[in-house]
Chains A and B, each alone.
Chain A
């Protein structure tokens, strides 16, 4: 398609015609100093906290410190062009980002600008990045599950829609992998996903986007990127941009999932800004409001009731609840969860999944520590079949842990103890799962049923994984209808016999 020059000049002519150029009365100030992305401005007496400030050259900043004679602001973008004495104007607006379904499938920066080279985003609406979370009367308790597709997570630390579940662990323990798999598993669940990458290597982010595309998971996902090379101010605001985009879906009676990867780096970016703004440092040199930094963010993850959705959409959407599930990620240093930021976020969230490097290195992947990982509210949202079967898993693993240490001293154990140990070992094996291989509820139920009811006791420990693989393959090829029936109505009472039938039919073939 070619555009005629006359069309362009007509278009510009129209724009000029419609351009209302009145005089503008604005509060102004002058730049006193620019250093490390932080600008001190003299004047600007009417600036408000969090207001956008306009610098020359279409550059914007955020007023963060209002002092007696000066305003401290961070520049959102490249600050190299700002000089001492430059005129700064107030805008009377706070920072807004585009929201809406148009963003799905796109990679955007912290301000909502596309960076994936797929052209402009024609979002119909914008929303301010800072907003007060829905109040108590608009909330509803968690009652529907978010299936992560991981046996270990869905059986032992179930996550409900609207819950905040922390994924915490050292570097290289599979935190991002778990979150990405949870996003991939929402392909058919209708849950919209937002992945916020904060302070990560651009190559890592490119990998994540590629993996999501490979698994056809980009079409329901927005990726918000503030890579390690972007200014600290943008890294600091990127989770708020992401949650604003996620909230749009919640407000419209849909379900959404947001992953913050990771909040430790955001806290570090915020610490940098705070120290440069000369705010007093506290523990680990973090400023005094690091707790609020994360609590106000995570509080915006919620499950809201029908009235809220109706009120926010002005009656356009009726009788639907909305939810925004939060999966914040925190990286610990050498497993130290008592550091400042980890303890804060642990106390804010509704539970945590601990990933440990020694488990990871022992080949237990996902490297979840079942003993200290909890979900405080997810149990109410678990499907009946997994809830009933999962109880056995927790018990078997707890008993196993207790006996495992003890059994190292005793050479010959009594029959009951030995059995418990073996069951525990097999359960641990069954909880292993490959990356990018999320399972449906029925598949999980089948594996868990088989190990709980002793069908794997006769299988040598080293072959448990192979047995499970073969069992799943068998069920998928010859009992697809049964699996679909379980998925359609995941109630144990109804389908226990079906599960038993499949496992026993598989045992007859003995092909593992």
Chain B
């Protein structure tokens, strides 16, 4: 996974720089996500490495799917896909899209936070949490919620590598560790 990210990073950076310069972050984002989904498809994956399919054909296929409504690719976008095909890096598109999203969120000063709570949260609670997080990260917060009853109570927040664990399950685990140590 890490190696794949390392390979994907320079491509994602280049794509991001181009998109930012052209002020087309949204379009690129949609196109990359769609291209990533295309590459992820099993029928498409079977074509990689096939001697019958040329790089240009593959690039045409991916660009064709990615470039439909909402993600219309300009020349540089098509060139990007072609470059990936020539370098045999098309299968790294999911990682490229992932890094692109991180860069995009960073430039828009937005942070994605996944909140897992023991019980479904009300809109008020969610807004309160989001407000507190916005203060802490000094960024706008995009919240995704999930429910996991095994937490017993409280909630776990995850933003990137940072985890804020306020669940009852974690506290019980720490209490157990403290008592047995």
Contacts and interface: CB of A to CB of B under 8 A. Distances in A.
Nearest to B171: A21
Interface residue tally on A, bucketed by range: 20 to 34
Centre residue among A29, A42, A69 by max chain B CB count within 10 A? A69
A46 interface: yes
A23 B161 contact: no
Interface residue tally on B, bucketed by range: 20 to 34
Interface of A: 12, 15-16, 19, 21, 23-29, 32, 40, 42-46, 58, 67-70, 89
A12 B174 CA distance: 14
Given A23-B154, A25-B165, 6 more contacts: A28-B161, A28-B162, A28-B163, A43-B161, A67-B2, A69-B6
B170 A24 contact: yes
Given A67-B2, A69-B5, A69-B6, A46 B171 contact: no
Contacts, number: 61
A15 B178 contact: yes
B163 A25 contact: yes
A230 B158 CA distance: 36
Contact of B2 (A28, A32, A46): A32
Interface of B: 1-3, 5-6, 9, 154, 158, 160-166, 170-171, 174-175, 177-181
A67 B5 CA distance: 12
28 contacts: A19-B178, A21-B175, A23-B164, A23-B165, A23-B166, A24-B164, A25-B163, A25-B164, A26-B162, A26-B165, A27-B162, A27-B163, A28-B161, A28-B162, A29-B161, A32-B1, A40-B2, A42-B1, A44-B161, A45-B160, A45-B161, A46-B161, A58-B177, A67-B2, A68-B5, A68-B6, A69-B2, A69-B3
Nearest to A27: B161
A26 B163 contact: yes
Interface of chain B: mostly helix, strand, loop or mixed: helix
- Nearest 4 A-B pairs (CB), nearest first? A23-B166, A70-B2, A69-B2, A21-B171
Nearest to A89: B163
Contacts of B180: 58
B45 to A, nearest CB: 22
Contacts of A68: 2, 5-6, 9
A472 to B, nearest CB: 54
Contacts of B158: 28
A19 to B, nearest CB: 6
A34 to B, nearest CB: 14
A68 to B, nearest CB: 6
A46 B9 CA distance: 19
A23 B157 CA distance: 11
B154 to A, nearest CB: 8
A84 to B, nearest CB: 10
A103 B21 CA distance: 65
Contacts of B3: 69
B163 A42 contact: no
A26 B180 CA distance: 22
A24 B160 contact: no
Contacts of B174: 19, 21, 24
